[in-house]
Structure 1
Amino acid sequence: MTATTNVLIALKNILDRNSCRLTPIFRSNGLANTAGDSLEYFIKDMFCTGGILHSVEEDKNKIYDQYLSWKGNSSNFPDFIVKQGVGVEPKKMNGKGTGSLSLNSSFPKAYIYPDTQNLPPKELINEREWDKKSIIYAVGNLDRNNDKLLRLWLAYGNTFIAEERVYSGLKSKIKDTIENLTNAEFVPSVEFGRIKKVDPLGNTNLRLRGMWELAHPEAVFQKFLKMRDIPQGATKINLIISEADYRLIEKKPDLSLYIESGKLIKHKVLIPNPNYSLDNISVYLFETYTD
């Protein structure tokens, strides 16, 4: 039987663990990973039940192989992909700030497609054919003094990110404008583009690189939050998922114990549609905390 997972299972695993303290991950050579790596492993562990029991990378990977079709690397987006499920991209921030998330040369994504820029090669994603996957941004604010998360958001991209055409359309307009401003040769590239032969002798090229930023989910959804008072030193956890995506999750874990105790709040709200600001979409917002 194939192991299955989803964001609700990840949320339950976080609640069951009752801690968002990041622990060192060791490779076979005995070296520990960085704090950023530790956040990525923590999120993987919460999606891949049992992963948290291991501290050695090789042992964790054996668990991840059961749940993930792509375990990630430093070059491709997203960080990992659940088998027949979502893509997940952890983003680490230091301290309590809710400033913009740096995405560098890759624009934000509500979904990924087989031809999405910077996606790993098709043959490296170990699952059957697929057309579209939702993306979850796992945004963790880290207290570097004790390697503990101050805040964690699990936010579906389609709740606050527009369709790909919005971003790709802007890139096309910028390219067209540049080409109309100069007689130099414009060459598209993975980053954004290059303008070759800028000077009369053609000795100079200009490299263009986009630097995209995305609003922190806390800044976007703050006005919809209900849980204000949590124990001092606790980690606030939020999950936002569209009602449509929630209905598609077949295996929903039992969260009633946490809801009845008041530690977990689940409520349905209407938020602005990322593609049409005059429309709304229905979402579920989960609010909880860990010690």
Structure 2
Amino acid sequence: MTNILKAIKTIIAHPISNLISHYEGRNRINQIGDALESFVKDVFADTVNETDQGRRLAKYSEVFSYSGNANNPPDLILKNGDAIEVKKIESLGAAIALNSSYPKSKLFSDSPLITSHCRNCENWHEKDIIYAIGVAENKRIKLLWLIYGDCYAADREIYERIIDTMARGINQIPGVNFSKTKELGRINKVDPLNITYLRIRGMWGIENPLSVFDYVNLDYQKNNQFQMIAIMKESKYLSFPAPDRNEIESLVNNELKIIDVNIKSPNNPVQLIPAKVIAYKLL
């Protein structure tokens, strides 16, 4: 079974920052966002340099239980493992647009935002989720974040409380016919003919990890050709098989560092959580 530590090892072995050049002409990939999604998929499947499409697809089937689309999270689910959501931004300090999906500390099978195919891809109720955020500049990836949601986002009750409060408030407007949808809601029969409706959509976003984690040592250096920064709770790191941890620790050098840090709890910022930062840089 693959995991984020094996993916980091693959990134170190194949640190490709010019993704367009690497993927151009392959399955009509000519946009940096598509190339980023393919790269994330390939590093988890260890197929970065696989040129045979049949062998690549066979490996995908072996490694992933689900591959999604742009409209429904997540983008990927590792078999019996974590979910992965891929996001592209175009400047180092830009916020991350999440659109209609609020930030997730975990992915739950009862979420109305996921598809039935995702819900039934395997027997699961709750999964850890990795935000794979690529910073694209001039069709190259300068920085790839791999951040676990429970280090980055609060519990879902925090966000769902806002949604429920908005729904209750709209329901209190006299003469409004409100119905819940997979978006924030819908107001029906707005006009005298009862033929007009108003869709209420959320446009969620979250601040850039550089500002969110500016109080910890990320070993980030702006001028490097390519960098990868992973953030996870220490407990998550220790949950991975010892051989995978030993292997990644054996690779530590000037380019790869594993740093012990304390991060703020997304649910209670005065509570500090032991965490690991794994930082790789291509000079």
Distance in structure 2 (CA, Å) of the matches to 1:41 and 1:125: 23
Aligned to 1:78: 74
Distance in structure 1 (CA, Å) of the matches to 2:53 and 2:203: 32
SS at match of 1:247: helix
Distance in structure 2 (CA, Å) of the matches to 1:244 and 1:229: 27
The structure where strand makes up a greater share of residues is 2
In structure 2, relative to structure 1, the CA distance for the partners of 1:229 and 1:181 (3 Å cut) is closer
- Give the one of 2, 6, 10 matched to 2:3: 6
Q: Is the 8 A contact 1:70 1:125 kept in 2?
A: no
Count residues with an aligned counterpart: 279
Distance in structure 2 (CA, Å) of the matches to 1:43 and 1:191: 28
Aligned to 1:117: 112
In structure 2, relative to structure 1, the CA distance for the partners of 1:183 and 1:130 (3 Å cut) is same
Distance in structure 2 (CA, Å) of the matches to 1:14 and 1:222: 24
Residues 131-140 or 242-251, more deviating: 242-251
What do you get for the CA RMSD once the two structures are aligned?
2.1
Distance in structure 1 (CA, Å) of the matches to 2:265 and 2:157: 15
- Give the one of 72, 91, 100 matched to 1:105: 100
**How high is the TM-score relative to the length of structure 2?**
0.90
Aligned to 1:187: 179
Is 1:216–2:208 an aligned residue pair? yes
**How high is the TM-score relative to the length of structure 1?**
0.88
Consecutive unaligned residues of structure 1, counting only runs of 5 or more, are none
Instruction: Give the percent of matched residue pairs that are identical in Structure 1 and Structure 2.
Output: 29
Alignment of 1:27-46 (within 5 A): 31-46=28-43
Consecutive unaligned residues of structure 2, counting only runs of 5 or more, are none
- Give the one of 114, 120, 143 matched to 1:151: 143
Distance in structure 2 (CA, Å) of the matches to 1:95 and 1:57: 32
In structure 2, relative to structure 1, the CA distance for the partners of 1:199 and 1:36 (3 Å cut) is same
Q: Is the 8 A contact 1:24 1:55 kept in 2?
A: no
Aligned to 2:83: 87
Following TM superposition, by how much is the alpha carbon of 1:217 offset from its aligned partner in structure 2, in angstroms?
1.4
Q: Is the 8 A contact 2:73 2:113 kept in 1?
A: yes
Q: Which amino acid is 1:32 matched to?
A: I
SS at match of 2:94: coil
Distance in structure 1 (CA, Å) of the matches to 2:147 and 2:216: 14
SS at match of 1:286: strand
